[in-house]
Chains A and B, each alone.
Chain A
């Protein structure tokens, strides 16, 4: 299970979990699950397109994910956000289907792009993943306070001279980068559950962001490590265990929340 050909997978998965736990906290805070669901589909289309043109899939994923995320935020600026997200999502997904059919790829490859693959990480693709991971974490840390304020109290943020639209675009780019680095391992369809499950559970355990964020990262790490081990032992797809772990954690969080709030408040 820890043999040399799986080492890359363990390293990448841990980076993915840290980034997902951190970025996902803001996804849940801002209520942008739908965006987090849509952006990975753009990455899927980008990977398919890049493979068709013979380019590096990571490059295609990055371009499509960032383009899709920024496009959605810009077009959805006035009014119907959900409609724009839904349409961008289907358009990107349909393009992915077109690229795949033009490229004559096998359905197994589609499957691994959509649902992740345990052995999908080579040493050469490790470098961009590490770099992207560091960029994501740094971006969130640098913009931590304005991002938090713009997420929770947009009006107050605007009054303090923070552009909420600028923050939305900034955040969309971070989500896109986080997605790009995680699609090879977790898969386009399931990245979303890692971005929502552990942070949502963490927020039920503690409302304080400085406690919830480390907790969220910890949860994401546990889910990912458990999933790789389980997938290795059972040879079932890793994505299934990721979603199962996330859902179980969230259920535990709901249970804990119900118990802790029912307890009579002491003095």
Chain B
């Protein structure tokens, strides 16, 4: 245990992981309420386009991730089809093309010496391999994402529950949609950097979905989600650190896998609370 806390990479992983898990959980509650899990996952994967391009250009990975994420969020809002089914297909097409570009950039990356692990690093990330110099940028972007959610909290809330109600109450629905996607992109790209583009969906959705199964009050749900997210991250990091001896001593388990495992287990556990509170859940379903 002493070795755990005195290890430099672990300290950095705990710090960055906590920040990212908290921001993801905060934004995640609204993502689940707005039923935008697919968009959240798509933004994470599309960030990988930027991540793989950044490898190619030799610029910091975080810059590539965030740039591509914001750009993708803008395109999604621009396409912004109201009908749900059209949105499903349009997201699918844009998303597919983004993945194809990722394949191209990653291939070009692997052609160059010294970056043969680009595919694994971009897609699966590793909390233990974070460059300490990106820390100020991570803190700054986390603050921006939190600020957006806190300042426009009421807009997001009303708009998530009912768009009709929101327009009646004078909330600019379109602007709210854009603001939310920007906050979502920031949160998702930050977690994409730490636990990998493809797995960042776990930190976004699992804590928030678990919290929303436990309570129907949004403020409380956010607090629970942050607790679950940060807890999963810490447990996952500890598990990965301790797992070195578990599989014959040759490897430790990937930190991304450990965090995802704990987060999904938390979601499944939250289901036990559901039968106890069936009444509450029915009310929640009606609100959603």
**Which residues of A does B touch, CB under 8 Å?**
28, 31, 33-34, 36-37, 41, 79-80, 82-83, 85-87, 89-91, 93-95, 97-98, 100-102, 104, 107-108, 110-111, 114-115, 187, 189-190, 192-193, 196-197, 200, 236-237, 239-244, 246-247, 250
In the assembled complex, B198 has its CB within 8 A of some CB on chain A = yes
Residues A111 and B198 in contact in the complex (CB < 8 Å), given A89-B41, A193-B96: no
Chain A residues with Cβ under 8 A from B85's Cβ? Answer: 31
Q: Is B251 positioned at the interface, with any CB of A under 8 Å from its CB?
A: yes
* Docked-complex contact A89 and B201, CB < 8 angstroms: yes
- Please determine whether B256 and A242 come into contact, CB atoms closer than 8 angstroms: no
A-B contact pairs, 8 of them (CB 8 A): A34-B41, A85-B37, A87-B205, A93-B199, A97-B257, A101-B251, A236-B107, A243-B101
Q: Which of B88, B89, B256 has the most CB of A within 10 A?
A: B89
Cβ of B76 under 8 Å from chain A:
no
Q: Give, as a whole number of angstroms, the nearest-CB distance from A212 to chain B.
A: 13
Give chain B residues whose Cβ lies under 8 Å from the Cβ of A95. 257
Q: Is B106 an interface residue, CB under 8 A from the partner?
A: yes
Q: Which 8 A-B pairs have the closest CB atoms?
A: A243-B100, A193-B96, A94-B260, A33-B92, A90-B202, A82-B37, A196-B92, A240-B104
The answer, among A31, A37, A242, for a CB contact under 8 Å with B100, is A242
Tell me if B35 counts as interface (CB < 8 A to partner A). yes
- Residue of B91, B97, B201 touching A244 (CB-CB under 8 A): B97
How long is the Cα–Cα vector from A41 to B97 in the complex, in angstroms? Answer: 17
Indicate whether A31 sits within 8 Å of B84 (C-beta atoms), given known contacts A87-B206, A101-B251, A190-B103. yes
- With A89-B41, A190-B96, A197-B96 already in contact, 19 other A-B pairs whose C-beta atoms are closer than 8 Å: A28-B89, A34-B37, A34-B38, A37-B95, A41-B198, A80-B209, A83-B32, A83-B37, A90-B198, A97-B256, A101-B257, A111-B119, A192-B99, A193-B92, A197-B92, A237-B103, A239-B99, A244-B100, A250-B93
Q: Across the interface, do A83 and B93 meet the contact criterion of CB distance under 8 Å? A: no
Whether B107 pairs with A83 at a CB distance below 8 angstroms is: no
Number of chain B residues whose Cβ lies closer than 8 Å to a Cβ of chain A: 53
Separation of A107 and B209 alpha carbons in the complex (Å): 33
Q: How far is the CB of A65 from chain B (nearest CB, A)?
A: 17
Q: B110 contacts the other chain (Cβ, under 8 Å)?
A: yes
- Is A240's CB under 8 angstroms from B100's CB? yes
Instruction: Specify which chain B residues have a CB less than 8 angstroms from the CB of A79 in the assembled complex.
Output: 285
Chain B minimum-CB-distance residue to A79: B285
Which residue of chain B lies nearest to A29 when distances are taken between CB atoms in the complex?
A: B85
B264 touching A246, Cβ below 8 Å: no
* Cβ-neighbour of A243 out of B97, B260, B261 (below 8 A): B97
Task: Give the contacts of B66-91 with A (CB-CB under 8 A).
Answer: 84-85, 88-89, 91
Q: Which chain A residues border B267 with CB–CB below 8 Å?
A: 87
Task: Return chain A residues, CB-CB under 8 Å to B206.
Answer: 87, 90
Given the known interface contacts A193-B96, A244-B97, the answer about A91 and B261 at a Cβ–Cβ threshold of 8 Å is: yes
Given A83-B205, A108-B110, the answer on whether A247 and B96 have CB atoms closer than 8 Å is yes
**How far does the alpha carbon of A111 sit from the alpha carbon of B99 in the complex, in Å?**
13
Chain A positions within 8 Å of B55 at CB level: none
* Chain B residue at smallest Cβ distance from A82: B37
- The answer, among B103, B119, B198, for a CB contact under 8 Å with A240, is B103
Residues of chain A contacted by B196 (CB below 8 angstroms): 97
B124 adjacent to chain A (CB < 8 Å):
yes
* Cβ of A21 to closest chain B Cβ, rounded Å: 15
A187 neighbours in B (Cβ, 8 Å):
103
Other-chain residue from A102, A108, A196, A240 in contact with B93 (beta carbon distance below 8 A): A196
Task: Return the contact of B119 from the options A80, A110, A247, A250 (Cβ within 8 A).
Answer: A110
Out of A90, A101, A244, A250, name the residue touching B199 (CB < 8 Å).
A90
- In the bound complex, do residue A200 and residue B92 qualify as a contact, i.e. CB atoms below 8 Å apart? yes
Cα-based distance from A64 to B102 in the complex (angstroms) = 25
A10→B124 CA distance, assembly (Å)? 32
Q: What residue in chain A is nearest B121 (Cβ atoms)?
A: A107
CB atoms of A91 and B93 under 8 A apart: no
Q: Mark B152-166, 1 if CB is under 8 A from A, else 0.
A: 000000000000000
State A91–B260 Cα separation when bound (angstroms). 6
Cβ of A115 and Cβ of B103 under 8 Å apart?
yes
Are B104 and A236 interface neighbours, CB within 8 A? yes
B247, CB-defined interface residue at 8 Å: yes
Cβ distance B31 to chain A, nearest Cβ, rounded Å? 10
Residues of B within 8 A of A31 (CB): 84-85, 88-89
